Structure 1
Amino acid sequence: MKKPIYRTKDEELAQIFSSKVLPRLRRLEFFGIIMAAIVLLVVILGVLALTVFRFKVPDIKLRAVTIDNYSNLSGTLTRFNLTLREEIVLKNQNFGEFKYDKSEAILSYGGKTIGEEEISSGCIELTYTKLVVVLIEPKFEGLGSNQNLGGGTNSGILTFNSYIKLSGKVNLMMISIKKRTREMNCTLKISLVRQAIQDYYCH
């Protein structure tokens, strides 16, 4: 009967970390590190895809609209001049700056353009908002006369349409990545008696 072989603690450690066993342990450890790095990379890319690289169109809102420089040319509601002042808020919802091209604010009545105003090109920093003020002077000559404004001059309420289309690109790390476009279409009701905006809504 063979006697059991008793090893010292040093001998047991030497067997565990022998030249045959140690390389396998190192390979398993290295494989575990690689898998953990891959999982971490997937998580980081997922977060970036849902935040930084999720490009959104700019948000455009008509914050306020008022009437400036109203003048009655005849003592009645049939001939007048006015200037519309529109305060437009542009919001960049991206994690990169948004550079927008030159565009125009168009004012129309009954489907016919009666006023245009240029909006200069510009830039909005990441997640910032910008206020743009547009002044439009309607020209009624193309309608023949202010009496061609229909029953609006009789009721003292005129309904105009204001349209803006904003196009530009989102720049991330100085590289233009995505082009985005937003349109704003608003209906304005103007009271000639009160010389003020009675109501407006946008879509």
Structure 2
Amino acid sequence: MGCCNSRTKKALKIGCGFTVILLLTILIVAITLYFTILKPKDPKVTTQSVTLESIRFEPFPAFHLNVTIGLILAIHNRNYGSFKYDSSIANVTYRGDPAAEALIIADTIPARADHDLNTTVLIDLDGFSKNPNFLGDLFSGCLNFTSSTILHGKVTVWKVMKLKATTVSTCDISVFTKFQNATSVCKSKIKF
């Protein structure tokens, strides 16, 4: 009986040792996968096109200035998961003052793919005539705006893992009234 009992203990020790080694291997593989493949990466946002669709300036009888900007952003999802986001609003400011809002319609950005985001922004500059910098900017021919967009949604990795995520994008937009065009530089960050 003593011989059988020592064999059972030895087999149990070997089984426990094998289980610990297997669990450690799985843990190391999971950590390696997370930090090499699955680690969330910020989406790369680039301006594909910024167009000055219209500009309306009426100095008399009452000052009136409207600018309509067409903005197409190319979003490159560098992650191995798709990002499905809800409808949102892009807020545009001029030197910290609210200038306009643009609707962002809900959509999905596929994993490791590019996605175009189109929006049109109508900026009514009548309220900025009181800003001490406005006339100087207007006469210099360049009006600078900042747009910020927060997209709430879910990241799905291999149709198994689903995580809530938020992307925050900011764009610096320069409207050149003299040349009737505009440029933009954007940054984006993802938060889980």
Normalising by structure 1, what TM-score?
0.68
Per mean C-alpha deviation after superposition, the further-off stretch among 184-193 and 148-157 is 148-157
CA distance in 2, matches of 1:31, 1:179: 37
How is 1:161-172 mapped onto 2 (pairs within 5 angstroms)?
161-172=146-157
Which protein is bigger by CA-based radius of gyration? 1
* 1:201 and 2:185 are equivalent in the alignment: yes
Which of the residues 178, 182, 186 maps onto 2:163?
Answer: 178
Larger RCO of the pair (alpha carbons < 8 Å, separation 6+): 2
Structure 1 unaligned segments of length 5 or more: list them: 1-19
Indicate if the aligned counterparts of 1:55 and 1:178 stay in contact, CA closer than 8 A: no
1:85 aligns to what? 70
Q: Structure 2 stretches of 5 or more lacking a match?
A: 188-192
Bigger Cα displacement from structure 2, 124-133 vs 46-55: 46-55
Aligned residue in 2 for 1:156? 141
Judged with a 3 Å threshold, the aligned counterparts in structure 2 of structure 1 residues 201 and 97 are, in CA distance, closer, same or farther, namely closer
Once the 2 structures are TM-superposed, how far is the Cα of residue 115 of structure 1 from its aligned partner? 1.3
Residue aligning to 2:34: 49
Residues 1:175 and 1:39: Cα distance change in structure 2 (over 3 Å)? closer
Does the alignment pair 1:127 with 2:98?
Answer: no
Q: 1:103 corresponds to which residue?
A: 88
Change (3 A) 1:46 1:111: closer
Q: Deviations over 1:107-163 (max 9, x none)?
A: 221322121111011111211121101110101243468998321222222222222
Once the two structures are superposed, the pairs formed by residues 26-37 of structure 1 within 5 Å of their partners are 37=22
Relative to structure 1, is the Cα distance of residues 43 and 153 closer, same or farther in structure 2, using a 3 angstrom cutoff? closer
Say whether the 8 Å CA contact 1:60–1:182 is kept in structure 2. no
**Aligned residue pairs: how many?**
179
Secondary structure of 2:67's aligned partner: strand
* Aligned AA (1:124): I
Note the aligned Cα RMSD (angstroms). Answer: 3.6
> What is the CA-CA distance between 1:57 and the residue it aligns to?
4.0
How far residue 93 of structure 1 moved from its aligned partner, in angstroms, is 2.5
| SS of alignment partner, residue 115 of structure 2 | strand
In the alignment, the residues of structure 2 paired with residue 146 and residue 35 of structure 1 have an alpha-carbon distance, to the nearest angstrom, of 68
Matched residue SS, 2:29 = helix
- CA distance in 1: counterparts of 2:178 and 2:132, whole angstroms: 16
Higher-strand-fraction structure = 2
Distance 1:124 1:188 in 2: 24
| Greater displacement, 160-169 / 139-148 | 139-148
- For the residue of structure 2 that corresponds to 1:127, the secondary structure is coil
Q: TM-score, normalised by structure 2?
A: 0.71
Identity %: 23
Report if aligned partners of 1:186, 1:200 keep a CA contact under 8 Å in 2.
yes
CA distance in 2, matches of 1:118, 1:49: 34
- Residues 146 and 85 of structure 1: is their aligned pair in 2 closer, same or farther, counting only changes over 3 Å? farther
**Cα distance, 1:177 vs. partner?**
3.2
